[in-house]
Structure 1
Amino acid sequence: MRKMESSHSWDLDRIVFIGRVWDEYMQMFHLVEADLAGRRILDCPAGACSFTAGCNERGFDVTACDIAYYHPVTILEQKGLQDLETTISNMEKAEVQKNFRWDSFKSVDDLKQARRAALRDCTADMRRNPNRYIPAVLPILPFRDEAFDLTLSAHFLFLYEDQLDYAFHVQALKELIRVTKEEIRIFPTTNFACERYGYLDQLIEEIRRLGWTAQEVRVPYEFQKNTNQMLVIRKEK
């Protein structure tokens, strides 16, 4: 998902349809399967990640939403393969590779295989379970209040600090809070320059005024250097 105008026919060229695999999601959000069992889960924005496919395979109650889902699966599959080639070509540059930790992925080819697997599993699951993939555009979501127990949001909000202003972040967080009953996890807390989101402290205070707690938590996942923190938001009891 990316910042966009209100039109649902948004130019597909402005979407990068690349995602992460199940194991990455579990590490990014410091989750174990027991954290998912018996809970209604929202992945927003989900993109080409295979987390929803993995949840469906394991019998968890999950919904994915993203602006990309306004487009047909076949088109998204083609777009994802094109985006993957562009991304991998860029990652092959030595000056780019130095910004990443090569622990989980041993090589650029290893990374390519993981991203291809995420796209394959995501699009296959979109065909099997289309009702699980809902087109939506933050900061407005088509869900009722407290529709989900746990909401996950990866690689969107704080990354785009240079494109999404503070007012957007507040509005988006309020919407995620509206549709969530218990807990929200956002990864990462940094922008594309691997710097902590500049208004995070101010945003945390805003969240607390809404009756929720907010805490930065280190996670066992760090691919891009200095990007290993998530924001955990929980409703006060």
Structure 2
Amino acid sequence: MHTPSTLITSRPLDEYCGLFGLTRAALAALPGPVLDCPGGAAGLTAEARELGVTVIATDPAYAAPLPELTALARAGRDSMATHLAAAPDRYLPSRHLRPERYLRSWDRARRLFAADSAARPERYVAAALPRLPFADGSFALTLSAYLLFAYPELFPPERQLAGLLELVRVTAPGGEVRVYPLHDGASRPCPHLPRLRSGLGERQVSSELVRFARPGDGRTRRVLVLRRAGR
């Protein structure tokens, strides 16, 4: 999932909640584990453990030694700092977080990731879409941020469809997959999303575009929610 051209991020649990329209209480109420794909150097797995929630993170970057991975994550943080300086309103709700506070949340998440992945390596699985080493229906909720639509050069339409179907495969009946964003790094929306959704429907996967309020300013984001048809 990650190549030298992609960004390894260090998002904390609360940012995941904001991205996907979740709450800590909703996560704690889930009947099974959560998959974070790709996990990068996020704090989600470590922070969710404090809620009694099991999160498995998967990313091909986990094949690298931890010092190398954390260095790449620090580079990702520095890249985000550059983006924030150039266009803060594009990345942050104007009245929610100051850029320096936001970057500190990434620093903390990166430290949590480093400690947790060293202590619990079994929860960080080196793997890449569109093939994941998990049994069918393993997860109650699957989250995928900044991958399939963010990097169309790595995931052309047929690989996007294969990746989405794989995320559904590892998600339990009655559970759901949430994917964000639905645009690339230049904020261009996916032009063939209707065709992808049609292809999913032909394979008994229902899809829905759900709007969630962005914390702090009332603006909304669109999240693609997938479920096995009939659920």
TM-score (norm 2): 0.87
Q: Distance in 1 between matches of 2:220 and 2:95?
A: 14
Task: State the Cα distance separating 1:34 from its structure 2 match.
Answer: 4.0
Task: State the Cα distance separating 1:103 from its structure 2 match.
Answer: 3.0
Q: Distance in 1 between matches of 2:131 and 2:220?
A: 27
What's the counterpart of residue 213 of structure 1?
206
Q: In the superposition, relative to structure 1, how do residues 67 and 41 fare at CA in structure 2: closer, same or farther (>3 Å)? A: same
Name which of 50, 57, 62 aligns with 1:64: 57
What's the counterpart of residue 94 of structure 2?
102
The alignment status of 1:178 with 2:169, answered yes or no, reads: yes
Q: Distance in 2 between matches of 1:150 and 1:117?
A: 25
Q: Distance in 2 between matches of 1:196 and 1:86?
A: 22
Q: In the superposition, relative to structure 1, how do residues 194 and 234 fare at CA in structure 2: closer, same or farther (>3 Å)? A: same
Q: Distance in 2 between matches of 1:131 and 1:58?
A: 19
- Give structure 1 regions of 4+ aligned residues with deviation exceeding 6 angstroms: none
Q: Distance in 1 between matches of 2:7 and 2:168?
A: 26
Q: Indicate conservation of the 8 Å contact 2:168/2:227, yes or no.
A: no
What's the counterpart of residue 19 of structure 2?
28
What's the counterpart of residue 183 of structure 2?
190
List alignment gaps of at least 5 residues for structure 1: 5-12
The residue correspondences of 1:43-58 to structure 2 (distance < 5 A) are 43-58=36-51
What's the counterpart of residue 9 of structure 1?
none
The C-alpha deviation readout for 1:1-58, integer Å capped at 9, x for no partner, is 33x6xxxxxxxx4453222111111121111234333222111011111111111122
The C-alpha deviation readout for 1:71-115, integer Å capped at 9, x for no partner, is 12222122222332243134323xx33533433322x32222122
Q: Over aligned residues, Cα RMSD in angstroms?
A: 2.1
Name which of 81, 102, 120 aligns with 1:129: 120
Q: Distance in 2 between matches of 1:123 and 1:220?
A: 31
Q: In the superposition, relative to structure 1, how do residues 165 and 31 fare at CA in structure 2: closer, same or farther (>3 Å)? A: same
The residue correspondences of 1:113-192 to structure 2 (distance < 5 A) are 113-181=104-172, 182-192=175-185
Letter in 2 for 1:42: L
The alignment status of 1:39 with 2:26, answered yes or no, reads: no
Q: Distance in 2 between matches of 1:33 and 1:109?
A: 24
The residue correspondences of 1:198-237 to structure 2 (distance < 5 A) are 198-221=191-214, 228-235=221-228, 236-237=230-231
Letter in 2 for 1:55: A
Task: State the Cα distance separating 1:163 from its structure 2 match.
Answer: 3.7
Q: Distance in 2 between matches of 1:81 and 1:188?
A: 22
- Please give the secondary structure, in 2, of the residue aligned with 1:20: coil
List alignment gaps of at least 5 residues for structure 2: none
Q: Indicate conservation of the 8 Å contact 1:160/1:191, yes or no.
A: yes
Q: Distance in 1 between matches of 2:192 and 2:160?
A: 9
Work out the number of aligned pairs and report it: 223
TM-score (norm 1): 0.85
- Please give the secondary structure, in 2, of the residue aligned with 1:103: coil
- Please give the secondary structure, in 1, of the residue aligned with 2:198: helix
The C-alpha deviation readout for 1:196-218, integer Å capped at 9, x for no partner, is 21111111111112222211111
- Please give the secondary structure, in 1, of the residue aligned with 2:141: strand
- Please give the secondary structure, in 1, of the residue aligned with 2:42: coil
Q: Indicate conservation of the 8 Å contact 2:213/2:221, yes or no.
A: yes
